[in-house]
Structure 1
Amino acid sequence: MAKLVRRAMRSKKLTCVSIAFFLLLCQFVQLEAQLQVGFYTSSCPLAEFIVKYEVSKGFFSDRGVAAGLVRMHFHDCFVRGCDASVLIDSTSSSTAEKDSTANNPSLRGFEVIDNAKARLETLCQGKVSCADIIAFAARDSIEITGGLGYDVPAGRKDGKVSLSSEASANLPAPTFNVNQLTQAFANKGLTQEEMVTLSGAHTIGRSHCTSFTTRLYNFNATTNQDPSLDPLYASQLRQQCPKGSTIPNLVVPMNPGSSATMDSGYYMDVLANRGLFTSDQTLLTNQDTADQVNQNAMNVFLWRRKLAAAMVKMGQIGVKKDDTGEIRSNCRKIN
Structure 2
Amino acid sequence: MAMLVLLLLSSLAVLSPPSEARLYNNYYARKCPSFNKIIQDTITNKQITNPSTAAATLRLFLHDCFVTGCDASTLITSTPFNTAERDADINLSLPGDAFDVVVRAKTQLELTCPGVVSCADILAAATRDLVTMVGGPYYNVGLGRRDGQVSKASLVEGNLPRPTMSMDQIIQIFASRGFSVQEMVALSGAHTIGFSHCKEFISGIYNYSKTEQTDPQYNPRFATGLKSACADYPKNPTLSVFNDIMTPNKFDNLYFQNLPRGLGVLKSDHGLNNDPRTKPFVGLYASNQTEFFQAFTRAMEKLSLYGIKTGRQGEIRRRCDAFN
Return the TM-score normalized by structure 2.
0.93
Distance 2:207 2:148 in 1: 40
Residues 106 and 208 in structure 1, CA contact (< 8 A), matched pair in contact too: no
Choose from 266, 280, 286 the match for 1:277: 266
The reply on whether 1:133 has 2:122 as its aligned counterpart is yes
Q: Could you tell me which residue of structure 2 aligns to residue 209 of structure 1?
A: 198
Q: Could you tell me which residue of structure 2 aligns to residue 231 of structure 1?
A: 220
The reply on whether 1:91 has 2:79 as its aligned counterpart is yes
Q: Secondary structure at 2:27's aligned position in 1?
A: coil
1:183-231 per-position Cα deviation (integer Å, ceiling 9, x unaligned): 1111111111010001011010111111110111143798732221221
- Greater Cα offset, 242-251 or 148-157: 242-251
1:148-167 per-position Cα deviation (integer Å, ceiling 9, x unaligned): 11221111100111111222
Letter in 2 for 1:72: L
RMSD: 2.1
Letter in 1 for 2:160: L
Q: CA deviation at 1:277?
A: 0.8
- Greater Cα offset, 144-153 or 32-41: 32-41
Residues 87 and 110 in structure 1, CA contact (< 8 A), matched pair in contact too: yes
Q: Could you tell me which residue of structure 1 aligns to residue 29 of structure 2?
A: 41
Q: Rate the CA distance shift 1:25–1:175 in 2: closer, same or farther, 3 A.
A: closer
Q: Rate the CA distance shift 1:200–1:322 in 2: closer, same or farther, 3 A.
A: same
- Greater Cα offset, 188-197 or 302-311: 302-311
Residues 196 and 242 in structure 2, CA contact (< 8 A), matched pair in contact too: yes
Residues 207 and 253 in structure 1, CA contact (< 8 A), matched pair in contact too: yes
Residues 178 and 283 in structure 1, CA contact (< 8 A), matched pair in contact too: yes
Choose from 41, 46, 59 the match for 1:53: 41
Q: Secondary structure at 2:158's aligned position in 1?
A: helix
Q: Could you tell me which residue of structure 1 aligns to residue 102 of structure 2?
A: 113
Greater Rg by CA: 1
Q: Could you tell me which residue of structure 2 aligns to residue 307 of structure 1?
A: 296
Q: Rate the CA distance shift 1:39–1:227 in 2: closer, same or farther, 3 A.
A: same
Q: Rate the CA distance shift 1:305–1:18 in 2: closer, same or farther, 3 A.
A: closer
- Greater Cα offset, 41-50 or 136-145: 41-50
Choose from 244, 247, 258 the match for 1:255: 244
Distance 2:110 2:308 in 1: 21
Q: CA deviation at 1:14?
A: 7.9
- Greater Cα offset, 123-132 or 287-296: 287-296
Alignment of 1:73-84 (within 5 A): 73-84=61-72
Residues 33 and 321 in structure 1, CA contact (< 8 A), matched pair in contact too: no
Distance 1:107 1:78 in 2: 17
Q: Rate the CA distance shift 1:327–1:178 in 2: closer, same or farther, 3 A.
A: same
Distance 2:163 2:257 in 1: 19
Return the TM-score normalized by structure 1.
0.90
1:112-155 per-position Cα deviation (integer Å, ceiling 9, x unaligned): 10000000011111110000100001101110110111221111
Count of residues paired in the alignment: 323
Letter in 1 for 2:292: W
1:237-278 per-position Cα deviation (integer Å, ceiling 9, x unaligned): 000001763024111111111110001111011111211111
Distance 1:26 1:184 in 2: 26
Alignment of 1:190-209 (within 5 A): 190-209=179-198
Residues 253 and 285 in structure 2, CA contact (< 8 A), matched pair in contact too: yes
Q: Could you tell me which residue of structure 1 aligns to residue 173 of structure 2?
A: 184
1:9-61 per-position Cα deviation (integer Å, ceiling 9, x unaligned): xxxx7875553343255468848843222211111111122112111111101
- Greater Cα offset, 270-279 or 71-80: 270-279
Choose from 250, 258, 266 the match for 2:255: 266
Percent identity, aligned pairs only?
37
Residues 217 and 243 in structure 1, CA contact (< 8 A), matched pair in contact too: no
